[in-house]
Amino acid sequence: MSSISLQVNDQNLQTEIDDRMTLADLLRNNLNLTGTHLACELGVCGACTVLVNGEPIRSCITLATSVSGMSVQTIEGFEDDDKMKVIRECFSEAHGLQCGFCTPGMLITVRDMIVRQKCNTESQIRNELSGNLCRCTGYSGIVKATQLANALLQTEPLPKVSTR
Ligand code: FES
Ligand code: FES
């Protein structure tokens, strides 16, 4: 067992955990943050993507002890985030989701891509999204949603979403 302290969605957390516990299991099982999804648990599909100190990581292959002292942001932590609000609306408007299983990881990845200005062309978007797998959409709606969100987020103040 190890004692760790970290911030999760701006809340301080100090807890005792098994040394082998993954960050995904800590979030889902101990903190009930089930918006972080688990599929492959091998670091392949991106469903479990969260931010650690502002960088996207695979929480299924990250030991919780390794993020002690760091800041973790899950999809629940973006509830009041202005950029994420626009991205969510664009996913809805452009049919960027069907079952929604991949969506939390997709949204976090797309927000990171937009912040890093990696959405300049369709091929760049597809390349940047290649670490997040979707079984339903065929990706076209996700790419369109990303292009739409990227275009909208270049302007200030944040505009109302419409594809029409
Ligand atoms: S569940 Fe973590 S990458 Fe697939
Ligand atoms: S919307 Fe179903 S896996 Fe992506």
What is the domain partition of the chain in residue ranges? 2-78, 82-153
Among 58, 75, 102, 132, say which to mutate for ligand 1: greatest number of ligand atoms within 8 Å of CB.
58
Considering the domain 82-153, what is its CATH architecture? Orthogonal Bundle (1.10)
Q: So what's the pLDDT on residue 155?
A: 72
Q: What is the residue-level pLDDT of the chain in tens, covering all 164 positions?
A: 999 999 999 999 999 999 999 999 999 999 999 999 999 999 999 999 999 999 999 999 999 999 999 999 999 999 999 999 999 999 999 999 999 999 999 999 999 999 999 999 999 999 999 999 999 999 999 999 999 999 999 875 666 666 55
Count of alpha carbons within 13 angstroms of residue 61, beta-carbon side? 12
The CATH number that domain 2-78 falls under is: 3.10.20.30
CB of 47 within 6 A of ligand 1: the answer is yes
The answer to whether residues 156 and 112 touch, using CB atoms and an 8 Å cutoff, is no
Query: Measured in whole angstroms, how far is the alpha carbon of residue 117 from the centre of its chain?
Result: 16
Q: So what's the pLDDT on residue 160?
A: 65
Instruction: Tell which residue, 150, 149, 145, 124, has the closest CA to residue 134.
Output: 145
Among 42, 57, 102, 109, say which to mutate for ligand 1: greatest number of ligand atoms within 8 Å of CB.
42
Q: So what's the pLDDT on residue 154?
A: 81
Q: Which residues pair with 45 in a beta bridge?
A: none
**Phi/psi of residue 125, each to 5°?**
-60, -45
